[in-house]
Amino acid sequence: RVFVVGVGVAGLQAIATAKRLGARVEAFDTRPVVEEQVRSLGAKFITIDIGKLEQTEQGYAKELTSEQLELQRQGMIKVCSYSDVIITTAQVFGRSAPLIITQDMINAMSPGSVIIDMAVNTGGNVEGSVAGKTIISNGVQIVGIDNLPAAVAEHASQVYANNLFNMIEEYWDKEKTTMDIDLTDEILSGCVITHSGKVVHSMIKQGG
């Protein structure tokens, strides 16, 4: 039984791969809008009532309050107790990753279970996880793989290059032979940091 926490690009891929390998998969995300995506892959979406949820204009989950995090943990501990594998991918853009899997949840799992913390580079979702190391806590392996894209460098580079090519092609002005930077465009406004000598990205400006 596999439990995926965080249903972004990495989480969806983890769900799809686990299903192909024959696992029973459950998933959780603070954004209810991803439930349909989870179900379309044949997995069960875990619903936990943690009050009003918000996301950024770019679709990222906003940071939860301490009260919401506690409600989330209370709702997740039962799922953790019967899961053989937990994969965490939850990150907040521009912030440290939220601590989601606590020691109490780890202690509730069966010895021999495995937790993979894919957010370890930004602080980690799992209590006790260490970047670049696999540790054992109460009989549970906690895998903190550092820089996962580097493990598949060739394919990661191909995907990244393809994404860049498609983006440049979309905004390339053939007559001017340059990028057409229109900051009212939703995609460009979300990824352009500086333009014409000024910081234009809203989140970067807010961060000082």
Last residue of a domain, one of 146, 167, 193: 146
Helix, strand, or coil (residue 152): helix
The amino acid occupying position 106 is: I
Query: Domain of 198?
Result: 151-206
Same domain (yes/no): 89, 55:
yes
User: Could you say which DSSP state residue 122 is in?
Assistant: G
Integer Cα distance of 84 and 82 in angstroms: 7
How far the first Cα of the chain sits from its last, in Å, is 44
Integer Cα distance of 45 and 7 in angstroms: 10
Computed on alpha carbons and rounded to an integer, the radius of gyration of the chain in Å comes to 19
Looking up tokens 């820089």 gives: 147
Same domain (yes/no): 141, 155:
no
Going residue by residue through the chain, which has 208 residues, state the pLDDT in tens, using 9 for 90 and above. Answer: 999 999 998 999 999 999 999 999 999 998 888 999 999 999 999 988 776 665 555 555 566 778 888 888 888 999 999 999 999 998 887 788 989 999 999 999 999 999 999 999 999 999 999 999 999 999 999 999 888 878 888 988 998 999 999 999 999 999 999 989 999 998 898 889 999 999 998 878 876 5
Last residue of a domain, one of 146, 170, 186: 146
CB 144 within 8 A of CB 134: yes
